[in-house]
Amino acid sequence: MYKVSRYNLFFEENNMILLFNSLRNVVARCDAETKEILENETLDKLPSNLLDKMVSEGVIVDEKLNELNVIRFTRMMHYVHLMQNLSIGLTLVMTYSCNLACPYCYEGDRKAKGGLLTPNKIETILKFAKSHRQGDKKPLISVSFYGGEPLLNWKGCRYTLERLEEMKEDGEIRDYSTGFITNGTLINYELIEAINEYNVNSMQITLDGPREVHNKRRIRPNGEGTFDEIIENIKLLKNGVNNEKFHLGLRINVDKTNFETIPELLEFLKKEGLDDIPISYGIVRGNFPYCHSNCGIYFSGVDLQKALPYLWREAYRRGFNVWTRPNLRFIYCGYDHPFGYVIDPELKVYPCWEMVGIEEYQIGEIQEDGSLKIYPFYYDVKSRDPTEYEECRKCKLLPVCMGGCAAESIRRNGHPNGPGCDINKYIWKEGLKFYLMKRYSYLFSQDNKNKEKMI
């Protein structure tokens, strides 16, 4: 006996009814009659070949199957895998300081903390990372250089790269990878040499719009804009880096005040020959407890449904690659990773980039001997489980969301152990439609001659 999967979602486009099953991550075209059968659970009306097909795609499931338990089990297996793989994710706050004074920056007062992650402290962190070794199995270390502006502490970044390489050569770790999250103003030849020499796999640089707009938002403390120097630095990277594993990405920050200017930026990037660099859109959003000044410019869910498809289209038609399809997830982000740590210059440990520097959200502190002194919040973080939240349990997007962002949950619910619905809640349909239109354009052509083809 069968029942209908609880993770079926329907949507319509170009006179077609489409069915998305978020647990199996399948999309299928469907007619009105089949939709009605599935919605009314009158499965005896389905022809047997269609029933079989739907069972194999997970649209219809065994009557006894508890799909929530499928999610619980899959998550559990994923945790076991992460723990056995010993992949340690270190986000290192190289300094809280920043050389820019962007008005919306969520790090606010935290920047005034100053301080650098010194070589001594980096040694202690690496000792901590190595302590994850289990028997003969050595850890795999991934480091994100973060800040403030991490390149203000270039000495510390360089020291970390050198030591990771040595540890790899000495067989103390299995391997390592690194990435930089930077504002892009401090790129130089020394950094490029290091990218070519060590395992530097990624760099994310942020732009806030075309020159005039960017220069009002990503500014130096004296009010000077930074657009031209960042573009020059991007070109420097493009021409100077020959490390094949290195990927440069541009994050374009958008909110209500600048999104209509983004096509001008995309046009500029294309003209400058920078359209082969992958872009992503960052939604500027409210923050806690530092953000008071930007209220009113954030997108609402409804605004996003219009703004993002517009931005995707503008990027796509200029040749930029944008990924919009919802993906299956086992965990939402590094917050949920069993070995994910954000570590500041005082060796205080936090679970998330946005919570860094906020005492309430500290999960521990690394001791001189490389051990971790665990704080009570550690256990709240590491046991976060969206299948315990009523809203998530009922939510058809759970397999592609997994409870969302804990920081968003703090904003919504006052605590991190609750649903932190992210933009996918509002734009999954638009994202899927955009993906399908790119991939199966024949289905969306005006004449619709090929409409009978199945996806």
Q: Is 406 in the site for ligand SF4 (CB under 6 A)?
A: yes
Total interface residues for ligand SF4 by CB under 6 A? 22
Q: Is 405 in the site for ligand SF4 (CB under 6 A)?
A: yes
Of 81-89, 169-177, 214-222, 419-427, the window that binds ligand SF4 (rule: CB under 6 A) is 419-427
Q: Is 334 in the site for ligand SF4 (CB under 6 A)?
A: yes
C-beta of 235 vs 382, nearer to ligand SF4: 382
The one among 172, 264, 365, 391 contacting ligand SF4 by CB under 6 A:
391
How crowded is the C-beta side of 153, counted as CA atoms within 13 Å? 29
C-beta of 3 vs 393, nearer to ligand SF4: 393
- Smallest CA-to-CA distance from 409 within 427, 384, 431, 426 is with 384
Q: Is 235 exposed, middle or buried (0-12, 13-18, 19+ CB in 10 A)?
A: middle
Of 60-68, 117-125, 332-340, 367-375, the window that binds ligand SF4 (rule: CB under 6 A) is 332-340
Contact 161, 198 (CB under 8 A): yes
Cβ 254 to ligand SF4, closest distance in Å? 17
Q: Is 86 in the site for ligand SF4 (CB under 6 A)?
A: no
C-beta of 235 vs 393, nearer to ligand SF4: 393
The one among 89, 156, 403, 431 contacting ligand SF4 by CB under 6 A:
403
Of 126-134, 139-147, 366-374, 398-406, the window that binds ligand SF4 (rule: CB under 6 A) is 398-406
Cβ 399 to ligand SF4, closest distance in Å? 8
Of 25-33, 115-123, 201-209, 385-393, the window that binds ligand SF4 (rule: CB under 6 A) is 385-393
How crowded is the C-beta side of 145, counted as CA atoms within 13 Å? 33
- Gap between the Cα atoms of 6 and 42, Å rounded: 15
Q: Give me the residues that bind ligand SF4 (CB under 6 A), please.
A: 333-335, 352-354, 386, 391-392, 395, 397-398, 401, 403-407, 419-421, 425
